[in-house]
């Protein structure tokens, strides 16, 4: 199916970065994950309630990502420049593995932006992440340049993700529980347009029903074999 396809898209989630030691939303690796509910922390309400706590939660996640290295799955995907990368992950591991263009539907944890959307946007040092800071515009605080629960996705990024998933002949669904919308809807969109759906996950889940082929296993074991040689 992959060898016959000219247009392949990979739609990935936290399971792609889990082997690099980056905590997922589902099976917390302990620490910050067990103490705080990501649904609360990654929301405007949570930020309004306790902005310092939210920025400390992001600082812990940023340090974890700063200490992480791209894994064999990231590298296998980077080796296939013919595959379009659409990811829910906000980390920079696909980029660091060599992917030039990653469509990040839920934003980018390696940068902060003005919460009042004045336009200010700055990269942060993942190894020494900032805490709560005022935006230079003086009207609001800086917060991670990610999409929180209850926030709209970036329209331009979303339309690129929709195009990549509606025009592909094969959609790889790698390491996602497929429960967060509208992102998870990309799988059905691809299926409706006739794409072959290949799900790679350590367990069966919401994406299983859409799978034409379901490969149960870790991305670091499955993807290098699946993708070797363009
Ligand atoms: C919005 C950034 C509207 C932040 C994230 C229906 C339609 C539209 C919206 C909704 C809807 N129903 C509900 C909603 C609201 C909500 C939503 O979907 N809620 C869910 C929980 C029900 N959606 C939203 O709020 C979205 N916005 O709808 O806006 C709007 C419109 C106009 C104007 C205003 C508003 C925004 C959602 C984005 C939230 N932000 N991330 C941050 O990171 O801090 S979501 C975040 O969680 C991730 O980005 C990702 O999307 C999600 C986690 O999911 P996964 O990636 O799948 O990871 P998870 O941990 O769950 O699972 C890991 C998987 O990997 C597992 O399957 C595991 O088995 C597997 N795995 C583990 N290890 C491996 C592995 N697989 C293979 N190999 C391994 N080694």
- Would you state the pLDDT for residue 28? 57
Q: Measured from the CB, is residue 201 less than 6 Å from ligand 1?
A: yes
| Residue 179 CA, ligand 1 centroid: distance in Å | 6
Whole-model pTM: value is: 0.97
Q: Kindly report, residue by residue over 164-208, the tens digit of the pLDDT.
A: 999 999 999 999 999 999 999 999 999 999 999 999 999 999 999
pLDDT at 33 over 90: no
State how far the Cα of 212 lies from the Cα of 157, in Å rounded to an integer: 27
Which contiguous run of DSSP H or E holds residue 61?
helix 51-66
Check 74, 106, 115, 120 and give the catalytic one.
106
Q: Measured from the CB, is residue 182 less than 6 Å from ligand 1?
A: yes
Picking from 22-31, 69-78, 178-187, 213-222, which range would have the lowest pLDDT averaged per residue?
22-31
Instruction: Name which of 142, 95, 137 is nearest 118 in CA terms.
Output: 137
Residue of 28, 65, 181 best suited for mutating to test ligand 1, as the one with most atoms within 8 Å of CB? 181
Q: Kindly report, residue by residue over 87-103, the tens digit of the pLDDT.
A: 999 999 999 999 999 99
CA-closest residue to ligand 1 atom 74:
15
Q: Measured from the CB, is residue 23 less than 6 Å from ligand 1?
A: no
Q: Measured from the CB, is residue 158 less than 6 Å from ligand 1?
A: no
- Would you state the pLDDT for residue 26? 73
CA distances from 11 to 27, 103, 164, 167, 207 (A): 20, 9, 9, 13, 11
């Amino acid at each position: 199916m992959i060898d016959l396809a000219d247009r392949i898209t990979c739609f990935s989630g936290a399971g792609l970065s889990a082997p690099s030691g980056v905590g997922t939303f589902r099976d917390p690796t302990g620490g910050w994950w067990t103490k705080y509910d990501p649904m609360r922390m990654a929301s405007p309400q949570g930020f309004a309630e306790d902005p310092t706590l939210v920025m400390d939660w992001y600082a812990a996640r940023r340090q974890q990502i700063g200490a992480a290295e791209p894994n064999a799955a990231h590298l296998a995907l980077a080796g296939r420049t013919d595959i379009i990368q659409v990811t829910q992950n906000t980390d920079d591991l696909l980029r660091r593995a060599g992917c030039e263009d990653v469509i990040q539907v839920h934003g980018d944890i390696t940068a902060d932006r003005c919460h009042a959307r004045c336009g200010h946007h700055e990269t942060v040092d993942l190894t020494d992440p900032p805490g709560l800071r005022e935006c230079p515009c003086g009207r609001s605080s800086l917060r991670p340049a990610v999409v929180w629960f209850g926030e709209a996705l970036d329209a331009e990024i979303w339309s690129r993700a929709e195009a990549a998933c509606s025009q592909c002949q094969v959609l790889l669904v790698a390491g996602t529980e497929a429960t967060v919308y509208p992102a998870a809807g990309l799988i059905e969109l691809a299926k409706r347009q006739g794409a072959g759906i290949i799900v790679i996950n350590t367990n069966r889940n919401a994406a299983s029903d859409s799978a034409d082929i379901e490969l149960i296993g870790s991305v670091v074991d499955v993807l290098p074999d699946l993708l070797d040689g363009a």
